[in-house]
Amino acid sequence: MIYRLLKVELYKIFSRPRSYIGFVAIAILVFIFQLALYVDGKTYLTFLIQQLESNFTIEGNILNGYLITYIILQTLIVQMPLMVALVTGDLLSGEASAGTMRLLATKPISRASIITAKLIGGSFYTLLLVIWLGGLALGFGLWIFKPGDLMVLSTDHISIIPAAECLWRFFAACVIAFISLSVVTTFSMMLSAFSDNSIVPIVTTMAVIIIFTIVGTLDVPLFNNIKPFLFTTHMIVWQKLFQDPLPVSKIINSIVIMFAYIITFLSITYYRFIKKDILS
Amino acid sequence: MILHFLKNIFKKNQYPSPLGKVAMGLFFFLISLGLSKCTQAQTASQIINKVNINFSKVNDYTADMNIHLDVSFIKMKDIAAKVFFKKPNKFKVKAEGIMLLPKQNPNNIQAMLKDTNSYNTIKTGTDIISGVTATIITVIPNADTSDLILGKFWIDANKGLILKSHLTTRSNGNMEIEHFYGSNSNYALPDKLIFTIETSKFKLPKALVVDLDSSSAPDATKSETKTGKIIIVFSNYLLNKGVDDKIFK
């Protein structure tokens, strides 16, 4: 039964034009980044490493495919939750606003199965989006710029990751990005369970992510105690995969916290949807 | 004359008399004093020439290099590289990936010291470096435009080896290099070099590197200028076997 429900969910997701906005936007942005860095990458990089060059002679190909991929991921993963929310925020409330939820609930299927199918469908869409971003960025990056050691520039330090270690780190980064986006998927689904309007959960999810990200980025001592409780703080833990030595305990800690958020959001969603009076 | 005096003493007695023993002792004392005076009497230019003579035996070399960076703001694994040198001043380091090297390559010093007309030297004392008495020679370039403002070298005058150098340059500030020698000391080629460099505090704007994960709050307790170390270990030297010019392109 779940399989049939899932097929229906996937059909619904991929028959809506808005589901393709994320894929098109990512493709355009990746193309723009690759082109810009191909044309002006050396100037951009010279500006970034001029401080380092005052102390050292730097040899080797810095502007390589792995660096391009890292820059793209770093820039676009921040925007990815918004693209995910556009689809997953609509999964339950969209049915309610269209009046199809009541019809679906009259079928001999449990409400838990309906949510499970929608969750798997939303997660599959999220996974495809992550694969699309990682695949395009890495594939074109390596094809155009060739592989090489990855120089990761942070605000106060530089890490150089050997080329041989880059592929598994990017793969792990995509896995963590998927877990991070699953937090957004379940959060928007939870909001969706409370609303009969498809716009409200989408906009609320986007607003919460923007507010949390800004609060998390601000270097104001007032927010330092709040930051560990914001899920957006842990969603950027994929960046820690590009540190040497690998801060394993911090990464695991963030993953555990994200799973805790996922379970909490899902529990609320199940509880709310199962108890909900479906009137439309 | 001294020898004639000694011959007479030994002719008269098969074994040296107390007077002979004193004379012999005095003779060897004077000889050793003379030798040590002779060493001390080497001028700064003569000592530098000794260094140059050692290195002039090297026409070319290749060696394996292991570079270890101990700089607070750089996190990277040791780099394995290969170094190529060919007279007069062709120098190339090759590695597979990204490599950070000190601004001064090991042959810069030799190349600079070789041109003895471009600088003045002053002997400024002695010091003990790793148990060896080193003569300190200060090098002052003649040209105002030269990158080197002042060079101070701790040299083993007997072997003609630079044990330590302290360079003050216009472009890179102060740099100290410790030289350690092994089986190729006859050619003044070190087995290990430790560069101590001045590193200004590394800071990039958060927006520029899209770094959402770190705090950019300034740390008032930390000084703006720090030092870092670059340790280069050389091995598998191949000396004067010929190096193709193509490598340096």
Average pLDDT of span A70-77: 87
Strand partners, B135: B126, B155
Supply the DSSP symbol for B116.
Answer: G
- How far apart are alpha carbons B235 and B82 in whole angstroms? 10
Angle between helices A163-193 and A111-145 (to 10 degrees): 150
Average pLDDT of span A28-49: 89
Report yes or no: A78 at the B interface, CB cutoff 8 Å. Answer: yes
- How far apart are alpha carbons B85 and B67 in whole angstroms? 17
Which ranges constitute the DSSP H helices of chain B?
Answer: 2-12, 18-40, 44-56, 106-114, 206-209
pLDDT band of B11, cuts 50, 70, 90: low
Cis bond before residue B88 (omega within 30° of 0): yes
Report yes or no: B216 at the A interface, CB cutoff 8 Å. Answer: yes
Q: Give me the total of CB pairs closer than 8 Å, taking one residue from chain A and one from chain B.
A: 121
- How far apart are alpha carbons A45 and A4 in whole angstroms? 51
pLDDT for B39? 47
Yes or no: say if A30 and A137 are a contact pair by the CB < 8 Å rule. yes
Whole-structure pTM value: 0.78
Of A55, A148, A156, the CB nearest to B214: A156
A54 contacts B200? CB cut-off 8 A: yes
Cβ count within 10 A of residue A120: 16
Average pLDDT of span B222-233: 77
Most confident of the ranges A38-52, B57-71, B102-116 = B57-71
Q: Which of B44, B45, B46, B28 is nearest to B36 (CA)?
A: B28
SS3 state of residue A232: helix
Q: Which residues of A touch B76 (CB under 8 A)?
A: 158-160, 244
Report yes or no: B80 at the A interface, CB cutoff 8 Å. Answer: no
Q: Is B175 exposed, middle or buried (0-12, 13-18, 19+ CB in 10 A)?
A: buried
Per-residue CA distances from B81 to A146, B156, B187 (Å): 21, 29, 21
In sequence order, the 6+-apart residues with CB closer than 8 A to the CB of A101 are A92, A95, A278, A280
Yes or no: say if B213 and A242 are a contact pair by the CB < 8 Å rule. no
Residue B30 has pLDDT above 70, yes or no: no
SS3 state of residue B64: strand
Nearest C-alpha in B relative to A149: B97
Q: Which of A74, A73, A221, A26 is nearest to B212 (CA)?
A: A74
pLDDT, greater one: B12 or A36: A36
Yes or no: say if B195 and A51 are a contact pair by the CB < 8 Å rule. no
Which ranges constitute the DSSP H helices of chain A?
Answer: 2-15, 21-53, 65-76, 80-88, 93-98, 101-105, 111-145, 163-193, 199-217, 231-235, 248-275
pLDDT, greater one: B171 or A161: A161
Report yes or no: A228 at the B interface, CB cutoff 8 Å. Answer: no
ipTM above 0.90, yes or no: no
Of A55, A160, A236, the CB nearest to B76: A160
> What is the total residue count of chain A?
280
pLDDT, greater one: A194 or B169: A194
Residue A212 has pLDDT above 50, yes or no: yes
pLDDT for A244? 81
Name which of A184-193, A270-279, B7-16, B57-66 the model is least confident about: B7-16
B209 contacts A154? CB cut-off 8 A: yes
Yes or no: say if A62 and A234 are a contact pair by the CB < 8 Å rule. no
Most confident of the ranges B14-23, B39-48, B59-68 = B59-68
- How far apart are alpha carbons B209 and B212 in whole angstroms? 9
**Residue showing tokens 């199965």:** A113
Residue A184 has pLDDT above 90, yes or no: yes
- How far apart are alpha carbons B133 and B41 in whole angstroms? 15
A57 contacts B101? CB cut-off 8 A: yes
Report the share of chain A in percent with pLDDT over 70: 100
| Mean pLDDT of all residues belonging to chain A | 89
pLDDT band of B62, cuts 50, 70, 90: very high
| Mean pLDDT of all residues belonging to chain B | 77
- Domain layout of chain A by residue ranges: 2-275
